[in-house]
Structure 1
Amino acid sequence: MIKAKERTASSLRAAAKLMAATFAIIGSIELPVAAGEVHAQPTARFLDSIGVVSTFEDRGQPYDRTLEMLRYGGFRWLRGGIEGLSEDGPLTIDSFLRLHRELGVKISWGLGSGISDLDRLLSTGRTLAEAGALLAFEGNNEPNNWPITYKGRKGGGSGSWLPVAELHADLYRAVKEDPLLAGYPVWSVSEPGAQTDNTGLQFLEIPEGAGTLMPAGTRFADHANVHNYLYHPNVPEPADNKSWNASDPSSTSPVDGLYGNFGRTWANRYMGYSEEVLADLPRVTTETGVAIKGSVDEALQGVNLVNLYLSQFARGYSYTSVYILRDRTDEQGPQAYGFFRPDFSPRLAAHYLHNLTRILADTARRHPPDRLDYVVNPHLETVHDLLLQHSDGSFQLVVWGEALSGENIIEVRLRETAKHAELYDVTKGTAPFAVFQDLSEIELVVSDHPLVLKLTF
């Protein structure tokens, strides 16, 4: 173990340059009065946000293998729904109930692509709720790509979206009027920015004066739902801050994100929420991801995806589901989005996420979490931080870089000296690679992935 006060800034900078170290400790100096007091988030809340899209038995993925992959990655929830579900299998409601019983994962329950069977969604949702397995309800998946028929009228695609809006309004009302289901959140349809006509799906609840086809006061959802893939036609190549920018709720985001679906719709520019409202709008992502192709290799996919979960949570997304757990084998063409290959072997993304979820591992929550006075200097565009607090009271400061190349040296200064500290690198494993006593200041070399600094006071 290395005592912080025994090291000097000059010796550590020299060592870092010479050995390409990932960290260094510098001599203690007095912290300025203007400390950065930060309110921690419960570690378990962040871990609960980590979800994934998966295929199941109906598409040739055995249950036992699905269980193994979910356990290894540390995923806390799954995007599911009635699409592909049947009474006789191979995919039944019991597949989801077993995953919850054996692993504790929860299920977001949606209509899926092109489906409008509201009664079946609600009845199966009640089964999940009774077992404690239900996370939320979700509207139709990308109606621009998979139109629906509701009450005898076609909607979505290039036609009117009014049937889509009516279906989702009915879904919301049915959930909230059901004594068993009323407490569960409803997530919006995905891709409302593709509306051909101004139905109002760019709002959670249509405000007065919106001029939409559905009347003011119509409630669709409790959370906005987006599919903000990192590599978008606007930004198809690797770049700095790939996941951070995709998570941006404002109009500066270059991808198909919150603004393009709930601020000003990307297809026909219908007005939704202002940027000020979007900053605090409850939101989730039920699909995002990174394919290995072109300039994106397995290593870049790996850091993109582990950074993505952190960026999404830090920028206000309550839940994030990445496409996909394992490459699909039931469709034509190359499939390389998965945390796992078709033969079920883990890619680097799976290893990195496994390391992160094991380093942070926690199921309980500290209420309320505490604050920590710390500052990060300098403030760099490609370096981000998230303060978590474990249920045992220790803090976990996650610092991640999103520089496509090179390294940045930053200093973390604590107002109060930590009695014990451990430093982890999620690309290296689950054990700390450095342990310290009496730590008040630390210098980190940050590149393209997360470091975790665990602090006990």
Structure 2
Amino acid sequence: MALNLLLANIPIANSGEPADAQAGIIAIPADDFLNSLGICIHHAQGVDAQSYVAPLKYLGVRNIRDDFGKPQGYVYLKKQTGVKANLIASSKDLGVTIESLRYIARDDALLSVEGPNEPNNFPITYKGETGGGFQRLFGKPADWTAVARFQRDLYNAVKSDPLLAKYPVFNVSEVGAQSPNLGLQYLEIPQGAETVFPAGTRFADYLNVHNYVAGTQKRYVDNQAWNAADPLMNAGWDGLFGNHGTLWGHGYRGYGSAELPHVPKVTTETGWDSHSDFGGEKVQGTVLLNTYLAQYKRGWKYTFLYMLRDGEGGAGNQGVYNADSSPKLAAHYIHNFTSILSDQEAIKTPRRFRYRIENASGTTHDLLLQGKPNAFFLVVWGERTSGGEDVEIRMPSKVRSVRIYDPTLGTDPIETADETDRLKLWLTDHPIIVKFVADAS
């Protein structure tokens, strides 16, 4: 990657700039961003928890997602690696589920609890009643009533428990397939929704979507990750709009377009197959880095990649590790990325900082993170499928101790400067991280 630092102090004109650009952008604590990163494992399916220790330590992600397995395994992984678990609740016995969650929470190993996983593909049984499936054209539509009853009861059980009440509940995934119109598209059913369950029924704290970055058409296009994270896009990706706006299965209505971008939401599955999707390991790695960034920038609280290792979740090759636990390029890129950003501490009151990116096209995106009181990471990423572009970052005054990193190359800076107020970057298909110190004015 070509990169040039221009060591000149050029003032930025204020006239004609939006008010927020003049005031600067409030940085996001780097710790908050790192806390959003997750990955799926399959300890519940019988994989030894110990086999995940080395990969999780190397990746540096902070959260795991799994079906409901032996709770001791998640406590062990928390002690060994620091990760917390989002667990898909079992509908077999809600009482046992709650007790298991309490066990995990007592050791601070619990992140959240999730409703049923894709009931359109994996129907559940609750209190002797089966719910889920999908049928649109012929015969009687599948009935999700048992799914809605379980999700309602799960939410109430968690929130009424003194130990568990503080933990978030994620909604059922793939609710775009529900029938009849039970109201699962909402966190809490509003008045006038005309759903089977009454207004005021609460299901979750976060909507839960499987907006796979690979998309429904298996293409590789500019802004692949940015589009997958779009809360309003309704073509090419199985996204928020089709599950919680106008539902893809039967056209039921949910949140309006003005509401969707602001509703609390998580992604518990997204991924890229290193064999069947375009570009092999290289593109898998760059797309997944972009995915973590685009998801956070567009308002998703947590993002879980599917998955950690091949051979544990069907016949695909979406793991960032091979079946023999050797790392793919994606694992190295994620390791480099989290390692670079790990130079941080808790930031109670993030600062504003002014900068401007010039000559950027619609495939260039940015995220300003604050690592320490005067230290920032400006992450700028491109989402081009080919070629690249020169962009220039301009700042109103000089910053110091500048370090430029490319996580696809390693954890050492690729260029440094003592002071500068201009940076020229060549952006292609992945993030560049600019670390710098800016003294408070």
Q: For residue 121 of structure 1, report the CA deviation from its aligned partner.
A: 1.7
Q: What residue number does 1:109 align with? A: 87
Q: Which moved more, 1:419-428 or 1:350-359?
A: 419-428
Q: For residue 402 of structure 1, report the CA deviation from its aligned partner.
A: 0.5
| 1:34-73 superposed matches below 5 A | 34=17, 35-36=21-22, 37-56=24-43, 58-59=45-46, 61-73=47-59
In structure 2, relative to structure 1, the CA distance for the partners of 1:188 and 1:435 (3 Å cut) is: same
**Aligned mates of 1:329, 1:118 — CA distance in 2:** 26
Structure 2 gap ranges (5+): 135-141
**Aligned mates of 1:188, 1:57 — CA distance in 2:** 20
**Aligned mates of 2:146, 2:259 — CA distance in 1:** 27
In structure 2, relative to structure 1, the CA distance for the partners of 1:173 and 1:57 (3 Å cut) is: closer
User: Does residue 140 of structure 2 align to residue 164 of structure 1?
Assistant: no
Corresponding residue pairs, total = 424
User: Contact 2:42 / 2:312 at 8 angstroms: preserved in 1?
Assistant: no
| 1:92-131 superposed matches below 5 A | 92-111=70-89, 115-131=91-107
In structure 2, relative to structure 1, the CA distance for the partners of 1:29 and 1:252 (3 Å cut) is: farther
Summarize deviations over 1:42-61 as a string: whole Å, max 9, x none.
Answer: 101111111000122744x4
In structure 2, relative to structure 1, the CA distance for the partners of 1:284 and 1:329 (3 Å cut) is: closer
Q: For residue 162 of structure 1, report the CA deviation from its aligned partner.
A: 1.2
Q: What residue number does 1:223 align with? A: 206
Aligned counterpart for 1:398 among listed residues 359, 365, 379: 379
**Aligned mates of 1:218, 1:422 — CA distance in 2:** 51
In structure 2, relative to structure 1, the CA distance for the partners of 1:177 and 1:351 (3 Å cut) is: same
Q: For residue 30 of structure 1, report the CA deviation from its aligned partner.
A: 1.8
User: Residue 275 of structure 1: SS of its match in structure 2?
Assistant: coil
In structure 2, relative to structure 1, the CA distance for the partners of 1:307 and 1:422 (3 Å cut) is: same
In structure 2, relative to structure 1, the CA distance for the partners of 1:273 and 1:100 (3 Å cut) is: same
User: Residue 52 of structure 1: SS of its match in structure 2?
Assistant: strand
**Aligned mates of 1:411, 1:124 — CA distance in 2:** 52
User: Contact 2:378 / 2:435 at 8 angstroms: preserved in 1?
Assistant: yes
User: Residue 287 of structure 1: SS of its match in structure 2?
Assistant: strand
Q: For residue 330 of structure 1, report the CA deviation from its aligned partner.
A: 7.5
Summarize deviations over 1:83-106 as a string: whole Å, max 9, x none.
Answer: xx3xxxxxx321110110111101
In structure 2, relative to structure 1, the CA distance for the partners of 1:81 and 1:121 (3 Å cut) is: farther
Summarize deviations over 1:333-372 as a string: whole Å, max 9, x none.
Answer: 4x31010001111111001000000000056321111110
Aligned residue type for 1:454? K
User: Does residue 331 of structure 2 align to residue 350 of structure 1?
Assistant: yes
User: Does residue 191 of structure 2 align to residue 213 of structure 1?
Assistant: no
Q: What residue number does 2:300 align with? A: 317
- Tell me the TM-score normalized by structure 1: 0.89
**Aligned mates of 2:52, 2:373 — CA distance in 1:** 31
Aligned residue type for 2:319? G
Q: For residue 80 of structure 1, report the CA deviation from its aligned partner.
A: 2.4
Q: For residue 178 of structure 1, report the CA deviation from its aligned partner.
A: 0.8
**Aligned mates of 1:54, 1:261 — CA distance in 2:** 24
**Aligned mates of 1:426, 1:356 — CA distance in 2:** 5
**Aligned mates of 2:50, 2:433 — CA distance in 1:** 32
Aligned counterpart for 1:80 among listed residues 56, 62, 66: 66
Deviant stretches of 4+, over 6 Å: none
Q: What residue number does 2:430 align with? A: 449
Summarize deviations over 1:169-214 as a string: whole Å, max 9, x none.
Answer: 1111111111111111111000001112100000000000000000
Q: Which moved more, 1:153-162 or 1:214-223?
A: 153-162
User: Contact 1:110 / 1:121 at 8 angstroms: preserved in 2?
Assistant: no
Summarize deviations over 1:387-429 as a string: whole Å, max 9, x none.
Answer: 0000343010000100000011111111131022110001111
Q: What residue number does 1:246 align with? A: 228
Summarize deviations over 1:3-49 as a string: whole Å, max 9, x none.
Answer: xxxxxxxxxxxxxxxxx613443644221113451111110111111
User: Does residue 270 of structure 2 align to residue 288 of structure 1?
Assistant: yes
Superposed CA RMSD in Å reads 1.6
Q: For residue 137 of structure 1, report the CA deviation from its aligned partner.
A: 1.0
- Tell me the TM-score normalized by structure 2: 0.93
Summarize deviations over 1:238-262 as a string: whole Å, max 9, x none.
Answer: 1111111000011356311111111
Q: What residue number does 1:13 align with? A: none
**Aligned mates of 1:330, 1:287 — CA distance in 2:** 12
Aligned counterpart for 1:374 among listed residues 351, 355, 359: 355
Q: What residue number does 1:187 align with? A: 170
In structure 2, relative to structure 1, the CA distance for the partners of 1:117 and 1:49 (3 Å cut) is: same
In structure 2, relative to structure 1, the CA distance for the partners of 1:213 and 1:23 (3 Å cut) is: farther
User: Contact 2:44 / 2:67 at 8 angstroms: preserved in 1?
Assistant: no
User: Contact 2:168 / 2:205 at 8 angstroms: preserved in 1?
Assistant: yes
Summarize deviations over 1:276-333 as a string: whole Å, max 9, x none.
Answer: 11111101011010012153311111101111101100110110000010002575x4
User: Residue 216 of structure 1: SS of its match in structure 2?
Assistant: coil
User: Residue 11 of structure 2: SS of its match in structure 1?
Assistant: coil
Q: For residue 116 of structure 1, report the CA deviation from its aligned partner.
A: 3.8
User: Residue 270 of structure 2: SS of its match in structure 1?
Assistant: coil
**Aligned mates of 1:379, 1:402 — CA distance in 2:** 12
> Identity of paired residues, percent?
42
